[in-house]
Amino acid sequence: MPVKKVAFISHQNCQLHDMGEHHPESPLRLKAISDELKRSELIQELTCLQAQPVTLEQIERVHPRDHVRRIRNSSPIKGTIMIDPDTALCPNSLAAADLAAGALVQAVEGVMGGHYQRAFCSVRPPGHHAELVSSMGFCVFNSIAIGVAHARQAHGINRIAILDFDVHHGNGTVDIFKDDPDVMVCSSFQHPFYPNRMHDIERDHLIFTPLAAGTDGIEFRRAIERDWLAPLEKHQPELIFISAGFDAHEEDPLASLQLNELDYVWITEMICSVAKTHAKGRIVSALEGGYHLGALARSVHAHIQSLGESCL
């Protein structure tokens, strides 16, 4: 791997967001990832950075002020409160959400500034279910969307692609960019399945790949090639974002697709090849789902290694 061309952006306080002992979106997810990167020594080949918190101005490029205020005002002083049937806030949750979104802004700065070519944000809470005015599905703010807004506002990037291979449809990202043809959103997801929203909107810049329960890697690869490649070639994205969820893994307890680490290597290489052709190799990837700790750690390792191996 070319030395230090990939940044690994995280923060220990992302592990302080705790929705309860039995919640699958657990602080242990980030620990499992960093333990695996240390064990394999891949960590030594990465530029490791502490995430910085997002600013209110950067959040408000995406989410309306009233919504942000409502979420901030619901933060508990102790214990947890539910902001959606699946999503809780504890006293440290908003600080973690600010770091998760801030990591995306930082990744954009680093990639656009040429400090590294690619970045993986190992952060939580995830973001892709967060719609314009709803926090849901373990997500508080849409971190990827906040990164996209920063790339456009601060760096004048016009054409962007967000590639979402989490097992759940990225309804929040679709909600935010559904009327914005400069941002292509490609999303593969188990269907029918949670969240069952925003999957039947028809626009040229929204590319949806619904997959039946039980779909394996061969079928997954075929569907992605069939659906994503031609539209991406046409769109010519100048910067690529990945909503990197690993809950389509065959060992994941929340869903029923049958992918494994090699499929994550495959899709990462495919994305790298599009980035090489159109985006000067630039990729910003952020963790979304993935709930089997071992499978998550191995899959993230495979993803980051592939991001590094194909750097320009």
Binding site for Zn ion (CB under 5 A): 166, 168, 245, 247, 289
C-alpha pair distances (Å), 86 with each of 25, 89, 129, 133, 268 = 10, 10, 11, 16, 29
Nearer Cβ to Zn ion, position 125 or 245?
245
User: 86 or 182, CB closer to Zn ion?
Assistant: 86
Smallest gap from residue 128 Cβ to Zn ion (A): 8
Residue closer to Zn ion by CB (options 2, 253) is 253
Nearer Cβ to Zn ion (126/308): 126
CB of 169 to Zn ion, least distance (A): 9
The three-point CA angle 125-131-135 to 5° equals 45
Could you tell me the strand order of the sheet in which 206-211 lies?
A: 47-50, 6-10, 118-121, 283-287, 239-244, 160-164, 183-190, 206-211
- Candidates 59, 203, 187; CA nearest to 128 is 187
**Least distance CB 306 / Zn ion (angstroms):** 20
23 included as an active-site residue? no
Q: Closest separation between CB of residue 173 and Zn ion, Å?
A: 12
Decide whether 129 or 282 has the Cβ nearer to Zn ion.
129
Write the DSSP symbol of residue 192.
Answer: S
Instruction: Name the token pair of 126.
Output: 């995830």
Residue nearest to Zn ion (CB): 289
Half-sphere exposure of 135 (CA within 13 A, CB side): 28
Please, what is the minimum distance in Å from the beta carbon of residue 166 to Zn ion?
4
From the list 11, 17, 63, 129, the catalytic residue is: 129
Q: Could you identify the residue written with the tokens 């004048």?
A: 156
Q: Which pairing describes strands 118-121 and 87-89: parallel, antiparallel, or unpaired?
A: unpaired
Alpha-carbon gap, residue 142 to 306, rounded angstroms: 25
Sole residue written with tokens 């329960």:
213
- List, by residue number, the catalytic residues: 129
